């Protein structure tokens, strides 16, 4: 009895002769069933781009990635069922559109078991189909064909230079405000505008390993976290292209410690302000206050009193009028005031309204002043009545 196994690339057949053929056939097919189960488990761990094949049977392209839509690379898993000393050579072929199959342009730039397509071999709006073959001395093993679009395999680099700064130390009641910022490691990948980045930031308390809080989506390489209680935190960030679902790797985790009290910078400012205020107060007490009158006279000089040049102020206060007039005669157009003696004349009702004939003067009942008797000066202490104006029945004051 014997069992002969023929490997025909995609299929394996068992053929037996002699007795007990059915039992031996089942024994022959048992490893194949176990191998197919291993293939299913391996496929579950691969990228969802075409069916995965066990690496022991043939090579498998498991990842294609473009960092900037200008070039891309693909990696495959090699054979691991080679015997000791058996040589193997890998050959990757690709085609885009309806063109012919071409060989990989660069097997070195992206590392072992990879193929790199530079910008001269990359077209954005075309679908690339790839397959890789393992060439051994016994036979060739070819992977399944994988077709990808460059726009769908964009996977960016992980952000770097993650840092934070406190923008508001609110204390334990309202919490702190921290501004976190980062940068993209290859800014040249973004210069042509093919890629628009979307960021996702996660942070958690150091003592809570599974309680991640997420900030997503973020369009700018910075975000401000508000109301953070004092304590220790861990922060990380990743990014992806807006048109791709492939996230980059996480950045290096950054520890962030928020103090319970005010930060040292604010405390230093408080000390400086207090010191300046104390010095200013001492200067006011020992320099400004003793010299207060001089400083006041300097900034607010006294208003000078009214003064006439050439005239003694005491003369204006205590001098008589004649002496003052004598001094003022030196000024142009100054004339001393004239004084006249008031004359009081005693009159009576009969003198004010005399009963004279109307035809004396032709002026009605007005008596001519030149016919009135001259007034007599009275020297009595208390005359009965006096007038100090022109008589009502006279046209002018009679001469003395």
- State the CATH number of the domain containing residue 78: 2.60.40.10
Pairwise CA distance, residues 211 & 74, whole Å: 36
Answer yes or no: are the C-beta atoms of 257 and 229 closer than 8 Å. no
Identify the residue whose tokens are 């001269």. Answer: 120
pLDDT of residue 378: 47
Q: How many Å apart are CA 72 and CA 215, to the nearest integer?
A: 30
Question: What does pTM read for this prediction?
Answer: 0.49
The angle at the Cα of 95, spanning 73 to 241, to the nearest 5 degrees, equals 40
Tell whether 222 and 296 lie within a shared domain: no
Task: Say if residue 171 is exposed, middle or buried (CB neighbours under 10 Å; 0-12, 13-18, 19+).
Answer: middle
* Count of domains for the chain: 4
Same domain, 31 and 73: no
Check residue 44 and give its pLDDT. 33
Q: In terms of domains, do 186 and 257 share one?
A: yes
Q: Are residues 252 and 212 in the same domain?
A: yes
CB neighbours (10 Å) of residue 175?
17
Q: Note down pLDDT in tens along the chain; length 400 residues.
A: 333 333 333 333 333 333 344 444 443 444 433 343 333 333 333 334 444 444 457 899 999 999 888 899 999 998 887 777 778 899 999 998 888 999 999 999 999 999 999 999 998 888 999 999 998 888 888 999 999 999 889 999 999 999 999 887 665 566 888 999 999 998 888 877 778 899 999 999 999 988 999 998 999 999 999 988 888 999 999 999 988 888 999 999 999 998 876 555 567 788 899 999 999 988 887 877 777 777 777 778 877 766 666 666 777 676 667 777 776 776 666 666 665 556 666 766 666 655 554 444 444 454 555 555 555 544 444 444 444 444 444 444 444 4
The residues, ordered by sequence, that sit 6+ positions from 72 with a Cβ below 8 Å of its Cβ are 64, 65, 66, 116, 117, 122, 150, 153
Q: Report if residue 351 sits inside a domain.
A: no
Question: Are residues 118 and 85 part of one domain?
Answer: yes
Q: Among the three residues 330, 350, 373, which one is the final residue of a domain in this structure? A: 330
Claim to verify: residue 71 and residue 132 sit in the same structural domain: yes
Is residue 16 assigned to a domain?
yes
- Asked whether the beta carbons of 62 and 46 are under 8 A apart, the reply is yes
The answer as to whether 32 is a domain residue is yes
Residue-level pLDDT at 277: 93
Determine the Cα–Cα distance for residues 174 and 226; give it in Å rounded to an integer.
9
**In terms of domains, do 86 and 33 share one?**
no
Cβ-based neighbours of 387, under 8 Å, separated by 6 or more: 345, 347, 352
Per the domain annotation, does 201 fall within a domain? Answer: yes
Please answer whether residues 205 and 260 qualify as being in contact, where contact means their C-beta atoms are separated by less than 8 angstroms: no
Q: Which of 103, 135, 152 is the last residue of a domain?
A: 152
- 130 in any annotated domain: yes
Residue corresponding to tokens 């073959």: 133
Domain boundary pick from 152, 178, 204: 152
Whether 393 is in a domain gets the answer no
Nearest to 166 by CA among 257, 234, 249: 257
Residue 266's pLDDT is 65
List the one residue out of 94, 186, 216, 209 whose CA is nearest residue 146.
94
The pair of three-digit structure tokens given for residue 273, joined into one six-digit string: 């302000």
Number of alpha carbons in the 13 Å side-chain half-sphere of residue 134: 25
Q: In this structure, is residue 249 part of a structural domain?
A: yes
Tell me what pLDDT residue 337 has: 66
Instruction: Provide the residue range defining the domain that includes 106.
Output: 60-152
Answer yes or no: is 270 within a domain.
Answer: no
Report the run of H or E that residue 266 belongs to, with start and end.
helix 264-283
């Amino acid at each position: 009895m014997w069992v002969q196994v023929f490997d025909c690339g995609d299929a394996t057949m068992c053929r037996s002769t002699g007795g007990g053929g059915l039992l031996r056939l089942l024994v022959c097919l048992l490893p194949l069933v176990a191998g197919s189960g291993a293939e299913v488990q391996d496929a579950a761990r691969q990228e969802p781009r075409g069916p995965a094949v066990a690496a022991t049977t043939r090579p498998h392209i498991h990842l294609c990635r473009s960092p900037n839509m200008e070039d891309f690379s693909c990696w495959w898993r090699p054979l691991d069922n080679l015997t000791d000393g058996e040589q193997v050579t890998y050959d990757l072929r690709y085609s885009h559109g309806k063109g012919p199959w071409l060989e990989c342009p660069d097997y070195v730039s992206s590392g072992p078991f990879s193929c790199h397509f530079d910008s001269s071999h990359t077209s954005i709006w075309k679908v690339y189909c790839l397959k890789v073959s393992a060439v051994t001395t016994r036979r060739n093993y070819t992977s399944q064909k994988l077709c990808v679009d460059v726009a769908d395999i964009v996977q960016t680099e992980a952000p770097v230079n993650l840092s934070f700064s406190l923008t508001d130390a609110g204390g334990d009641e309202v919490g702190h405000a921290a501004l976190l910022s980062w940068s993209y490691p290859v800014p040249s990948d973004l210069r042509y505008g093919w890629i628009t980045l979307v960021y996702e930031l996660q942070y958690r308390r150091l003592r809570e390993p599974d309680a991640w809080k997420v900030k997503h989506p973020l369009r700018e390489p910075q975000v401000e976290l508000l109301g953070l209680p004092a304590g220790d935190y861990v922060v990380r960030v990743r990014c992806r292209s807006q048109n791709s679902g492939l996230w980059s790797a996480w950045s290096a985790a950054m520890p962030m410690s928020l103090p319970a009290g005010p930060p040292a910078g604010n405390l230093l400012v408080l000390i400086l302000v207090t010191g300046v205020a104390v010095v200013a107060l001492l200067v006011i007490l020992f320099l400004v206050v003793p010299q207060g009158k001089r400083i006041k006279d300097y900034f607010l000089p006294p208003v000078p009193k009214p003064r006439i040049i050439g005239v003694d102020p005491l003369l204006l206060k205590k001098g008589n009028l004649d002496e003052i007039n004598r001094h003022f005669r030196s000024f142009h157009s100054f004339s001393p005031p004239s004084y006249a003696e008031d004359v009081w004349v005693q009159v009576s009702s009969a003198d004010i309204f005399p009963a004279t004939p109307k035809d004396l003067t032709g002026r009605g009942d007005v008596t001519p002043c030149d016919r009135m008797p001259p007034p007599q000066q009275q020297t009595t202490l208390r005359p009965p009545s006096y007038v100090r104006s022109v008589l009502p029945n006279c046209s002018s004051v009679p001469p003395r």
